Amino acid sequence: MKRFSVSQGREKFSETIQSAQSETVVFERYGEDVAVMIGVTRYEQMLDALEELEDIAAFDASLAEEGQSIPWDVVKRDLGWL
């Protein structure tokens, strides 16, 4: 992880972008972390992971629902998959 002050990041913008392709870049202002820069590949990986976690949470929530379950064969028939 690299750290830049906001002013350093502004002065060395090209270097900052280059660094973000291979590692996380954290920007500080007055000693406080204020922003993070990551490369597009890492960003897409994080979005994919988030989507997977959301799917898992939705699945868990559906299992926790009360009421009668519909058998998978009935669902497929109702959708015209059989």
Q: Is residue 33 part of a domain?
A: yes
In what order do the strands lie in the sheet containing 25-29? 2-5, 25-29, 32-37
Q: Check which CATH number belongs to the domain holding 23 and give it.
A: 3.40.1620.10
Instruction: State the total domains in the chain.
Output: 1
DSSP string, 4-33: EEHHHHHHTHHHHHHHHTTS-EEEEETTEE
**pLDDT for position 58:** 94
Selected residue with higher pLDDT from 67 and 25: 25
Q: Identify whether the C-beta of residue 74 lies closer than 8 Å to the C-beta of residue 57.
A: no
Question: Is residue 64's pLDDT more than 90?
Answer: no
**pLDDT for position 66:** 84
| Residue 75: pLDDT band with limits 50, 70, 90 | very high
Q: Is residue 82 part of a domain?
A: no
Q: Is residue 15 part of a domain?
A: yes
**pLDDT for position 65:** 85
Comparing C-alpha atoms, which of 57, 48, 7 is closest to residue 27? 7
Q: Show the domain range for 14.
A: 2-38
Q: Is residue 63 part of a domain?
A: no
Mean pLDDT confidence for 53-81: 91
Q: Is residue 58 part of a domain?
A: no
Q: Is residue 29 part of a domain?
A: yes
Question: Is residue 62's pLDDT more than 90?
Answer: no
Mean pLDDT confidence for 47-65: 94
